[in-house]
C-alpha cells in the first residue's frame, strides 16, 4: 500500500514537473518566437539611440575678416526626474539662482510624470529641458553645486544601494547637452545688413529637431549656407544611458555651415553710423540712412539705417527692424534730375551749354503750375543741375519726350529690384507708372522727381552709374563663402547690368554735378579740401492721402574724387525737424563721412597732399579689379 502511494506521488510530481516545463517551454516560444519582434523593438527602444549632431552655424565676416556674427558654445541644461526621487525641492532651491529661474516653476518641471503615448505604452519624462543657451561657466557652477549638494543625511551610514542613489542623483540627475548661441560682437553695428536668428523646428527622420534659423538680413538670405548639415549617430546605451561605443553602428559627422564674407568694412560702417547718430541728435528725423558704394564694382562698403536695433536681444519697436534703405520708397525729388538730364544728353536732345527759360519760378503746364526753388530766368543745362531748377528739368524732360524718358528710367534700374542679396527689398515695379498711365503734366513732374517713387539704394546705384562711366552695376554685398579653415568655397565677382549712358555723356554729367558742390551750386557744404566732389541734392515734399504736405524727404548723393571716383555716398533723412534742404543738412553729413573714409582708405588726394591716417589704422588702396560677369 505504501509503495502504491509512493508511486502515485511520483506520478503527480512528474506530471507537475512536466506541466511546469511545458509552461516554461511555451513561455520561451512565446517570448523568443511568437512575440520576438515586439520585445526586440521594445529592447531597442530602451537601449538604441539615434542622436542628431547639430552643425556649427557659419560666421558672418566683414571685408577684412573681422567677425560681425559668430556662434559660441553654450549648454542646454536638462534633468532626469526619475533620478531625483523626492529630492526635487532641494535641487530646485540650489539651481534656481544659477539658472535665474523661479524656484517654484523649476520644482514643477523636475517632478516625474507618467502618461500613455500614442502606442498605448506607459512612458515617463526622463528628459526635461530646464534652460537653453546657458553659458559654459554657468554650467560648470551647476556641476560644482550638484557635486556638493547636501540632503541632510549621513550618507556614510546608509546601505550601498542608498549611497548609489545619491551618487547617481548628483552625477546624472542634472546633465547638459552642447548648444550654440548666435552672438553679434559689435552689438548694433550693421544690424540691418546682418539680420538676426531665432529658434525654429524641423523634422528629420521622424524626429523634431530644434535649430537656429535666420530671420532677416544676411542671416536669412544665406541661411542654407550658414546653417550647415546635421550629422547623426546610431548607437546603443546601457541601463545608465551610457553609450556603448563598441556597438556604435553609424557615425556621420555634422557639416558645419560656411562663413559669409561681406563687402562691408566694419570701420567704414562705424564711421557712417557715428555720423548718422550725430545727425539724428541734431535734426531729429524719423529716420536717417546712408549707403557707401564703390562705383566701379558696385561693392557696398557700408549700409546703415537709424534707428537700429541690437540683434543680440532685438528689443524695440517693430519698425526699427526694417532696413529702410531697401524697404522704404519715397519720391526722389531733385536727385532724379540726373536721370532726365543724362537721358537728354545721351540722346543728343540737349547739350550742357543749351539755355532754357526757367520762368522765374512759375511755369503753367498741363493744367498745373510748377514751382521752382528760386526765381531763375535763363539757365544752361549745366546750371539747371547746379541750381536744381525744377522748371528747367521739366522743360528738358518735355524735350526728351515721354517714351524716351521712360526708357531711361527703366535702364537706370527704377521699377525693378536692384538684386542686392538681402530680403525685404520692396517691389518697386508699381511705383514707376508706364507711359500709357501718364497724365499730360506727368512729363513735367517726373523730370523733377515727382510722381515716381524709388528706394534709397536704387537712387544710389543710379548715381554710381554716372560715376562709373555710364555702367549700371548690381550692388554687391557678399564677397565670398569660406569653410571653417578659410578655404574659399565660392567667390562672387562684380556684375555689370547694362551701360545706361555713353562714357562721353557720363563725363558731361560729372562736369555738371561738380558744379553742384561749388559756390554756384546747392551743396557747397559737401565740398572737401583735398578732393573734387560731384553730387546732387534732393528735397522732396512727402505725400499723405494723395496730397503734398509740408514734410520733407531730404537727400544728398555724391562721389569723389569726381573724375576717378573711389566712393559714392548717399545720405537721406525722413522728416528732419531742423531745416530740410538737402544741401543744408544732408551735405554736411556726406562731408563728415567722406573726410574720415578718405583718411581711413588712404585715398590719394587730387592736390598731392596725402591726408593723415588716424592712429592704429592701416592704409588701404581701396582698389578692386573689375571682373565682368553675366547679370
Over residues 361-417, the pLDDT tens digits come to 898 988 888 888 888 899 999 999 999 999 999 999 999 999 999 999 999 999 999
499-512 mean pLDDT: 97
Residue 323, pLDDT > 60, answer yes
**Which range, 38-42, 87-91, 261-265, 448-452, has the best average confidence (pLDDT)?**
261-265
Q: Which residue has the higher pLDDT, 550 or 328?
A: 328
- pLDDT of 608 reads 54
Q: Is 67 exposed, middle or buried (0-12, 13-18, 19+ CB in 10 A)?
A: middle
Contact 169, 181 (CB under 8 A): no
Rounded Cα distance between 497 and 462, Å, is 11
Q: Are strands 231-236 and 250-252 parallel, antiparallel or unpaired?
A: antiparallel
In this structure, of 330-339, 505-514, 617-626, the range with the lowest mean pLDDT score is 617-626
Closest CA to 295 of 420, 497, 465: 465
Residue 621: band (very low, low, confident or very high) from pLDDT cuts 50, 70, 90? very low
DSSP 218-240: HHHHTHHHHH-B-EEEEEEB-TT
Q: What is the DSSP letter of 598?
A: H
Q: How many C-alpha atoms does 209 have within 13 Å on its Cβ side?
A: 20
Q: Where are the beta strands (DSSP E) in 525-614?
A: 534-544, 547-560, 567-574
DSSP lists the bridge partners of residue 252 as 232
Residues of CATH 3.90.1310.10 domain(s) within the chain? 49-262
- Cβ contacts of 238 within 8 Å, gap of 6 or more: 47, 244
What pLDDT, on the 0 to 100 scale, is given for residue 521? Answer: 93
Higher pLDDT, 117 or 576: 576
Predicted confidence at residue 167, as pLDDT, reads 85
How much of the chain is helix, strand and coil, in % rounded to 5?
A: 40, 25, 35
Q: How high is the pLDDT of residue 249?
A: 58
Task: Kindly tell me if the per-residue pLDDT of 42 is higher than 60.
Answer: no
Helix 402-411 to helix 390-400 angle (10° resolution) is 100
What would the pLDDT profile of 607-619 be if each residue is shown by its tens digit? 655 444 333 333 3
pLDDT (mean) for 76-82: 87
SS3 535: strand
Instruction: Note the pLDDT of residue 235.
Output: 58
pLDDT band at 623, cuts 50/70/90? very low
CATH number of 49-262: 3.90.1310.10
Mean pLDDT of 622-631: 33
Q: What is the mean pLDDT of residues 182-200?
A: 92
- Three-state DSSP class for residue 96: helix
Provide the percentage of residues in the chain whose pLDDT is more than 90.
57
C-alpha 10/C-alpha 66 separation (Å) is 91
Q: What is the pLDDT of residue 614?
A: 39
Which of residues 541 and 281 earns the better pLDDT score? 281
Lowest mean pLDDT among 154-168, 333-347, 536-550: 154-168
Interhelix angle for 456-467 vs 503-516, to 10°? Answer: 110
Please state at what angle helix 160-172 crosses helix 136-147, rounded to 10 degrees: 170
- Within 8 A by CB and 6+ apart from 604, the residues are 610
The matching CATH number, chosen from 1.10.10.10, 2.20.25.650, 3.10.250.10, 3.40.710.10, for 266-601 is 3.40.710.10
pLDDT, greater one: 413 or 159: 413
122-161: b or e for each residue (b if 16 or more CB lie within 10 Å)? eeebeebebbeebeeebbeebeebbeebeeeeeeeeeeee
Which residues are CB-contacts of 354 (< 8 A; sequence separation ≥ 6)? 380, 381
- Segment 568-620, tens digit of pLDDT: 999 999 999 877 788 899 999 999 999 999 999 999 998 655 444 333 333 33
Least confident of 157-161, 219-223, 399-403: 157-161
Q: How crowded is the C-beta side of 283, counted as CA atoms within 13 Å?
A: 28
Looking at per-residue confidence, does 155 or 465 come out higher?
A: 465
Domain with CATH 3.40.710.10 in the chain: 266-601
Q: Residue 439, SS3?
A: coil
Query: Cell 531748377 identifies what position?
Result: 389
Give 82's pLDDT tier (boundaries 50, 70, 90).
Answer: confident
Label residue 213 exposed, middle or buried (CB < 10 Å: 0-12, 13-18, 19+).
Answer: middle
Contact 182, 67 (CB under 8 A): no
pLDDT surpassing 60 at residue 92: yes
Query: What per-residue confidence (pLDDT) applies to 517?
Result: 95
Amino acid at each position: 500500500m505504501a509503495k502504491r502511494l509512493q508511486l502515485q506521488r511520483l506520478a503527480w510530481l512528474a506530471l507537475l514537473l512536466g506541466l511546469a516545463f511545458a509552461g516554461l517551454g511555451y513561455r520561451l516560444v512565446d517570448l523568443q518566437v511568437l512575440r520576438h519582434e515586439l520585445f526586440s523593438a521594445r529592447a531597442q527602444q530602451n537601449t538604441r539611440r539615434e542622436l542628431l549632431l547639430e552643425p556649427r552655424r557659419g560666421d558672418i565676416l566683414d571685408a577684412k575678416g573681422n567677425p560681425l556674427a559668430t556662434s559660441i558654445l553654450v549648454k542646454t541644461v536638462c534633468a532626469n526626474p526619475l533620478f531625483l526621487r523626492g529630492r526635487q525641492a532641494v535641487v530646485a532651491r540650489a539651481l534656481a539662482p544659477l539658472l535665474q529661474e523661479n524656484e517654484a516653476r523649476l520644482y514643477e518641471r523636475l517632478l516625474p510624470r507618467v502618461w500613455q503615448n500614442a502606442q498605448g505604452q506607459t512612458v515617463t519624462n526622463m528628459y526635461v529641458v530646464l534652460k537653453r543657451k546657458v553659458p559654459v561657466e554657468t554650467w560648470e557652477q551647476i556641476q560644482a553645486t550638484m557635486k556638493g549638494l547636501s540632503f541632510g543625511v549621513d550618507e556614510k551610514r546608509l546601505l550601498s544601494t542608498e549611497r548609489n542613489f545619491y551618487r547617481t542623483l548628483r552625477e546624472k540627475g542634472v546633465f547638459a547637452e552642447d548648444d550654440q548661441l548666435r552672438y553679434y560682437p559689435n552689438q548694433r553695428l550693421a544690424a540691418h545688413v546682418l539680420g538676426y536668428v531665432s529658434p525654429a523646428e524641423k523634422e528629420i527622420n521622424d524626429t523634431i529637431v530644434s535649430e537656429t534659423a535666420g530671420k532677416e538680413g544676411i542671416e536669412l538670405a544665406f541661411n542654407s549656407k550658414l546653417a550647415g548639415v546635421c550629422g547623426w549617430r546610431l548607437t546603443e546605451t546601457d541601463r545608465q544611458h551610457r553609450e556603448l561605443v563598441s556597438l556604435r553602428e553609424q557615425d556621420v559627422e555634422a557639416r558645419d555651415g560656411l562663413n559669409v564674407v561681406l563687402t562691408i568694412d566694419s570701420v567704414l560702417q562705424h564711421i557712417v553710423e557715428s555720423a548718422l547718430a550725430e545727425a539724428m541728435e541734431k535734426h531729429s528725423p524719423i529716420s536717417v540712412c546712408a549707403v557707401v558704394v564703390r562705383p566701379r564694382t558696385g561693392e557696398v562698403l557700408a549700409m546703415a539705417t537709424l534707428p537700429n536695433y541690437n540683434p543680440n536681444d532685438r528689443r524695440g519697436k517693430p519698425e526699427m527692424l526694417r532696413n529702410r534703405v531697401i524697404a522704404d520708397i519715397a519720391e526722389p525729388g531733385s536727385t532724379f534730375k540726373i536721370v532726365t538730364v543724362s537721358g537728354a544728353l545721351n540722346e543728343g536732345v540737349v547739350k550742357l551749354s543749351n539755355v532754357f527759360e526757367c520762368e522765374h519760378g512759375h511755369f503753367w503746364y498741363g493744367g498745373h503750375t510748377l514751382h521752382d526753388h528760386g526765381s531763375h530766368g535763363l539757365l544752361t543745362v549745366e546750371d539747371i543741375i547746379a541750381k536744381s531748377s525744377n522748371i528747367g528739368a521739366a522743360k528738358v524732360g518735355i524735350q526728351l519726350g515721354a517714351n524716351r524718358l521712360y526708357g531711361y528710367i527703366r535702364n537706370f534700374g527704377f521699377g525693378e529690384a536692384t538684386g542686392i542679396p538681402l530680403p525685404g527689398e520692396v517691389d518697386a515695379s508699381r511705383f514707376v507708372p508706364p507711359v500709357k498711365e501718364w497724365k499730360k503734366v506727368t512729363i513735367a513732374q517726373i523730370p523733377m522727381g515727382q510722381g515716381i517713387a524709388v528706394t534709397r539704394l536704387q537712387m544710389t546705384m543710379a548715381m554710381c552709374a554716372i560715376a562709373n562711366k555710364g555702367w549700371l552695376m548690381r550692388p554687391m554685398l557678399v564677397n565670398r563663402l569660406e569653410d571653417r579653415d578659410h578655404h574659399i568655397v565660392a567667390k562672387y565677382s562684380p556684375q555689370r547690368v547694362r551701360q545706361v549712358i555713353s562714357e562721353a555723356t557720363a563725363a558731361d554729367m560729372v562736369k555738371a554735378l561738380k558744379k553742384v558742390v561749388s559756390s554756384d551750386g546747392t551743396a557747397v557744404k559737401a565740398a572737401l579740401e583735398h578732393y573734387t566732389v560731384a553730387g546732387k541734392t534732393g528735397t522732396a515734399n512727402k505725400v499723405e492721402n494723395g496730397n503734398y504736405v509740408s514734410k520733407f524727404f531730404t537727400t544728398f548723393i555724391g562721389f569723389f574724387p569726381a573724375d576717378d571716383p573711389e566712393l559714392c555716398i548717399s545720405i537721406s533723412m525722413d522728416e528732419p525737424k531742423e531745416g530740410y534742404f538737402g544741401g543744408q543738412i544732408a551735405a554736411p553729413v556726406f562731408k563728415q563721412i567722406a573726410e574720415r573714409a578718405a583718411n581711413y582708405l588712404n585715398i590719394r588726394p587730387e592736390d598731392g597732399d596725402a591726408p593723415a591716417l588716424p592712429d592704429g589704422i592701416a592704409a588701404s588702396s581701396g582698389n578692386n579689379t573689375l571682373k565682368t560677369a553675366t547679370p
